[in-house]
Structure 1
Amino acid sequence: MKTIIKTTWCCAIATATLIAGVAAAAYPDKPVRIVVPYPPGGASDTTARLLSEKLKQVTGGTFVVENRPGANGNIAAEMVAKSPADGYTLLMANVGPNAISQTIYPHLNYDVNKSFAPIGQTTTVPIVLVAGPKVKATDIKGLVAEVKTNPGKYTFASAGNGSSNHLVGEMFKSGLKLDMMHVPYKGDGPAMTDVMAGQVSMMFTTAVAARPYITGGKLKLIAVASKKRVPAFPGAPTISETVLPGFEASSWGGLVAPAGTSAEIVKHLNAAMVKVLAMPEVKEKLSMLGAEVAASKPEEFARYIKDETDKWGAVAKSANVVAE
């Protein structure tokens, strides 16, 4: 009898594995949504659209981008977290809704480390410090000296209270003991507009968002916040090498699915994503935008998200940042 039970159990496991394999082999047999938590035009949207186009070629399936902005990306993240775990609704994850929000939103309706099945990181997006006409300095050492000489007279903008560029600004302000006021906006666009107009002194933003304004002479590139210099702006020094050793802040992108999505589908998507990110034209396009390819395995991305959640959680608590 024990032999019969054991044989039946083994057959059941084999059948389940076979079914999962068949399902993954047939996937995707209907359109896959890649939900972007921001309006069109930013780093997340640009990366998602590039991915969707190439994933069609690699998998033979249909991938469509859907923009769901709002609440620092949390609206889109919650929607995906509560979607069926069948691989047909994915989130273009990033540092805001998938790391920072866990700490600053006391009643978040999802858990960044439990509500999603990480597929893989796609990009690292360098963050840069830019300034408008209100700042006389043209380099980071000059800017720091200018702000310290005029305490309380300088401001830094962000895409909103608790946004990633808000926390980077708080980390910069705290590390250098600068007396500056934070001015939150509803998105990077309005914030940069006021920096360019001189209504606000400066802001941290992604290289992708700032590049056209830097090259167009409307914003001054002061320094790079990431660990190393950015290929798109090779002459711009990092904050770490000039005024604040160890300072490091980057945005990032990646794909996640709802928790419970089968390991076979996650593996299938990761393999396709890695293949797309290895394409020379994709690397070139992302590099031109100021982003860098950072393909990773699902388990590596899961660890990275956990580390980012801990890092920015500590910054938010130290600055007493709570989202409105």
Structure 2
Amino acid sequence: MSIITRRALLATAAVLAAPAVRAQGSWPERPVRIIVPFPPGQAADIFTRVYADELSRRWPQRVVVENRGGGAGAPALEAGARAAPDGYTLTAGTSGTLGVNPSVLPRLPYDAEKDFAFITNVVVLPLLIVAHPSLGMKTAAEIVAAAKAAPGAIDLATAGPATSQHMSAELFVHRTGIRLNMVHYRGSGPAMADLLSGNVKLMVDSVASALPHIQAGKVIPIAVTTPERAPQLPDVPTIAETVAPGYGAYGWTGLCAPAGTPEAIIQKVNADVGAILRQPAVQARFLELGGTAAPARRRNSAPSSGGRSRNGARSPASPMSGWRADAMQRRSLLGGSLLLAAPALAQPAGRPVRVIVPYGPGGSSDLVARILAQRAGEISGLSFVVENRGGGATVPATQQLIAAPPDGSTIGTADNALVLNPYLLAAKLPYDTERDIGALGLAVTAPALLLAHPDAPARTVQQVLAEAKAESGGLGISHGGIGAPTHLTAVQFQLASGLPITLVGYRGGGPQLTGLVSGDVRYGFVAISSALAQVQGGKLRPIAIVAAARSKLLPEVPTMAEAGLPAVDALGWWGFIMPAGVPPAVVARLHAAIVAPAREPATAARLEALGYTIVASGPEEYAAQIRREIPQWREVLTRAG
């Protein structure tokens, strides 16, 4: 049976070799922090907070949970490993950060076996596949059939690359012989937010994170990943009993400290956390939240390889026994399943091509990147890995791109912000757009929609303008962030109306859609490619489209010109860029891999179904467009103030 088993939170050889250090009787003398490698709302965060609150009641000092999401948990684990070994910084290690990352992430900034001292396991977590109701599927068999009929057409959200959710999804894909488009987020919280809003239709998550939404009827449980059904969801079948006999996977969370932390402190934390986890009320709370408490008693020495004692006898079964052997088994399993599932990802130089997206998951830039990166991997034999880095008006992501070697190993997506930022940020822009950035090719364009929440009163552009005129504090109109294509459209709308309109910027189209669907703002401009599913599902009401002609996808929606505002005509575009100085031969290969395939019939049909218009221009043509549009939009923005 292929089971993603627990990975050892191992005590290090340094601890074995060092003399025992007694903890001071007054420890802790100041607050103790526990670093959680994911944002709030993820399973590791939920369960850590339960016992952290109890520790704060037991100890004379508070225990503070510090969330550090992103980077598959690697930055958080690095911070935990590099902290002073004094007991005041602990880390919530997980099956992903300690069990999976060492197998799949190159240049990991910590050693999972040498940099940490094991304190205790905390919880074992069943995972499951959940779906948005609009997907129209309720069983794993239906999903497998649909994925086989249209390989790569179904998006599946994970809590991030190399997490247990991601690995469980890869194992599901491999065992069923299907292909899904993996969409990685910075934790299960943001991924679940996009699932709830319908931006993605499918997700692998822990029962702990998904259970409240299942109970509220907002998502549909498809199948659990464990060999047995989860006690919290006894009516939900396992993957093994439906589509993949022998399948099994689960996650876990534990607690560790930097290597070299005094053994007496580790013993105290182990005893106190273990006592908390053995309380019937806490165990019942864990089950209610979707996990099973699994405390481990601390021994005076690290667990030996293979779970044997020093005299060679098999150790008694416990959460600590055999964890080093478990780690090796996990690496073999995960490495093998990933290679089998995606043989085209073997990179001669051992490095993937990074595709940096300057927004969070779910927006138009992310959609374009993932669709074309997936096709690029299929036809080129290279691995194209999408990395989302939102915020900062796309500047941090662009800086990261520019700082990369000009060898073709790092490219990025760009939209209208590329030509707006030279004016919007002026002297504050830390790079020269025309000098430091190389153009790879314009991929697609797409018009924006003026959308309304279903409870908003206006149904036409003129009614929106009347509402803005009557609104004393200024009517809020949202967009995808400073410099985003929809920001341009919103500025044009503000200028054309001459009314007190307040522009509300988000950190990308995904978060903006979530704000519109939840009713945080009533109106907003969103690219049709990002909003089509919400419009077709009745979650948002289209008022007008910013295009020269009506869309074939939404023929009943009038154009902005028909609505009386012809000056609102900004067209969103999305292309690929790279650091300046990439050799021409490499540029040609990259263009052929990730830009040109937009013209292929199957890929073009997929993009057009989302509302995009195919361009697939060459590097020179795209570079000329960038040079042309920088002064063009400077004039518009100057008038807007």
Which interval holds the TM-score relative to the shorter structure? 0.7 to 0.9
Where relative contact order (Cα < 8 A, 6+ residues apart) is larger, the structure is: 1
Which residue of 1 is the match for residue 239 of structure 2? Answer: 239
User: What is the rounded CA distance, in whole Å, between the counterparts of 1:304 and 1:126 in structure 2?
Assistant: 19
Which residue of 1 is the match for residue 185 of structure 2? Answer: 185
1:218 aligns with 2:218: yes
Query: Residue 92 of structure 2 aligns to a residue in which SS?
Result: strand
Q: Which amino acid in structure 2 is aligned with residue 84 of structure 1?
A: A
CA contact (8 A) 1:102 1:313 kept: no
Query: Residue 286 of structure 2 aligns to a residue in which SS?
Result: helix
Check 1:238–1:71 CA distance in 2 against 1; reply closer, same or farther (3 A cut). Answer: same
User: What is the rounded CA distance, in whole Å, between the counterparts of 1:39 and 1:170 in structure 2?
Assistant: 23
Q: Could you tell me how far 1:197 is from its partner in structure 2? A: 4.2
Q: Could you tell me how far 1:100 is from its partner in structure 2? A: 1.4
Check 1:65–1:179 CA distance in 2 against 1; reply closer, same or farther (3 A cut). Answer: closer
Check 1:52–1:267 CA distance in 2 against 1; reply closer, same or farther (3 A cut). Answer: same
Check 1:277–1:52 CA distance in 2 against 1; reply closer, same or farther (3 A cut). Answer: same
CA contact (8 A) 2:130 2:223 kept: yes
Rg larger in structure: 2
Q: Could you tell me how far 1:59 is from its partner in structure 2? A: 4.2
CA contact (8 A) 1:120 1:270 kept: yes
CA contact (8 A) 2:125 2:208 kept: yes
Deviations 1:213-258 (A, max 9, x none): 2112221100101232112111111112222222111111110000
Which residue of 2 is the match for residue 9 of structure 1? Answer: none
CA contact (8 A) 1:185 1:191 kept: yes
Deviations 1:159-209 (A, max 9, x none): 233332222111101001013222223332343344344443311111121
User: What is the rounded CA distance, in whole Å, between the counterparts of 2:260 and 2:143 in structure 1?
Assistant: 49
Greater mean deviation of Cα atoms: 153-162 or 309-318: 309-318
CA contact (8 A) 1:124 1:250 kept: yes
Which residue of 1 is the match for residue 62 of structure 2? Answer: 62
Q: Could you tell me how far 1:141 is from its partner in structure 2? A: 2.9
CA contact (8 A) 2:226 2:248 kept: yes
1:307 aligns with 2:322: no
Deviations 1:275-301 (A, max 9, x none): 000112211221111111011134444
Which residue of 2 is the match for residue 75 of structure 1? Answer: 75
Q: Could you tell me how far 1:126 is from its partner in structure 2? A: 1.2
1:284 aligns with 2:284: yes
Which residue of 2 is the match for residue 146 of structure 1? Answer: 146
Q: Which amino acid in structure 1 is aligned with residue 326 of structure 2?
A: D
Which residue of 1 is the match for residue 486 of structure 2? Answer: none
CA contact (8 A) 1:147 1:179 kept: yes
Check 1:85–1:313 CA distance in 2 against 1; reply closer, same or farther (3 A cut). Answer: farther
Structure 2-normalised TM-score? 0.45
CA contact (8 A) 1:240 1:247 kept: yes
User: In the TM superposition, what are the counterparts of 1:116-265 in structure 2 within 5 Å?
Assistant: 116-265=116-265
Structure 1-normalised TM-score? 0.85
CA contact (8 A) 1:59 1:272 kept: no
Q: Could you tell me how far 1:128 is from its partner in structure 2? A: 0.8
Which residue of 1 is the match for residue 338 of structure 2? Answer: 319
Query: Residue 285 of structure 2 aligns to a residue in which SS?
Result: helix
Query: Residue 93 of structure 2 aligns to a residue in which SS?
Result: strand
CA contact (8 A) 1:99 1:309 kept: no
Which residue of 2 is the match for residue 90 of structure 1? Answer: 90
1:297 aligns with 2:316: no
User: What is the rounded CA distance, in whole Å, between the counterparts of 1:277 and 1:162 in structure 2?
Assistant: 28
CA contact (8 A) 2:39 2:189 kept: no
Q: Which amino acid in structure 1 is aligned with residue 40 of structure 2?
A: P
Deviations 1:123-160 (A, max 9, x none): 01111101123533312233333333444432322223
Greater mean deviation of Cα atoms: 115-124 or 36-45: 36-45
User: What is the rounded CA distance, in whole Å, between the counterparts of 2:33 and 2:43 in structure 1?
Assistant: 18
Greater mean deviation of Cα atoms: 61-70 or 206-215: 61-70
Which residue of 1 is the match for residue 479 of structure 2? Answer: none
Q: Could you tell me how far 1:40 is from its partner in structure 2? A: 1.7
CA contact (8 A) 1:113 1:302 kept: no
User: What is the rounded CA distance, in whole Å, between the counterparts of 1:73 and 1:195 in structure 2?
Assistant: 21
Greater mean deviation of Cα atoms: 307-316 or 29-38: 307-316
Q: Which amino acid in structure 2 is aligned with residue 265 of structure 1?
A: I
Query: Residue 169 of structure 1 aligns to a residue in which SS?
Result: helix
Which residue of 1 is the match for residue 114 of structure 2? Answer: 114
RMSD of aligned residue pairs (Cα, Å): 2.4
Check 1:309–1:68 CA distance in 2 against 1; reply closer, same or farther (3 A cut). Answer: farther
User: What is the rounded CA distance, in whole Å, between the counterparts of 1:181 and 1:142 in structure 2?
Assistant: 17
Which residue of 2 is the match for residue 7 of structure 1? Answer: none
Query: Residue 129 of structure 1 aligns to a residue in which SS?
Result: strand
CA contact (8 A) 1:113 1:306 kept: no
User: What is the rounded CA distance, in whole Å, between the counterparts of 2:79 and 2:329 in structure 1?
Assistant: 24
Q: Which amino acid in structure 1 is aligned with residue 208 of structure 2?
A: V
User: What is the rounded CA distance, in whole Å, between the counterparts of 2:328 and 2:197 in structure 1?
Assistant: 34
CA contact (8 A) 1:129 1:221 kept: yes
Q: Could you tell me how far 1:317 is from its partner in structure 2? A: 5.0
Which residue of 2 is the match for residue 31 of structure 1? Answer: 31
Q: Could you tell me how far 1:318 is from its partner in structure 2? A: 3.7
Deviations 1:35-90 (A, max 9, x none): 11122222112222211221234444432222222212111110110111121110
Greater mean deviation of Cα atoms: 277-286 or 145-154: 145-154
Greater mean deviation of Cα atoms: 143-152 or 116-125: 143-152
User: What is the rounded CA distance, in whole Å, between the counterparts of 1:303 and 1:319 in structure 2?
Assistant: 24
Q: Which amino acid in structure 2 is aligned with residue 182 of structure 1?
A: M
CA contact (8 A) 1:95 1:308 kept: no
CA contact (8 A) 1:118 1:302 kept: no
Q: How many residues align structurally?
A: 306
Q: Could you tell me how far 1:313 is from its partner in structure 2? A: 5.7
Q: Which amino acid in structure 2 is aligned with residue 297 of structure 1?
A: R
Identity %: 35
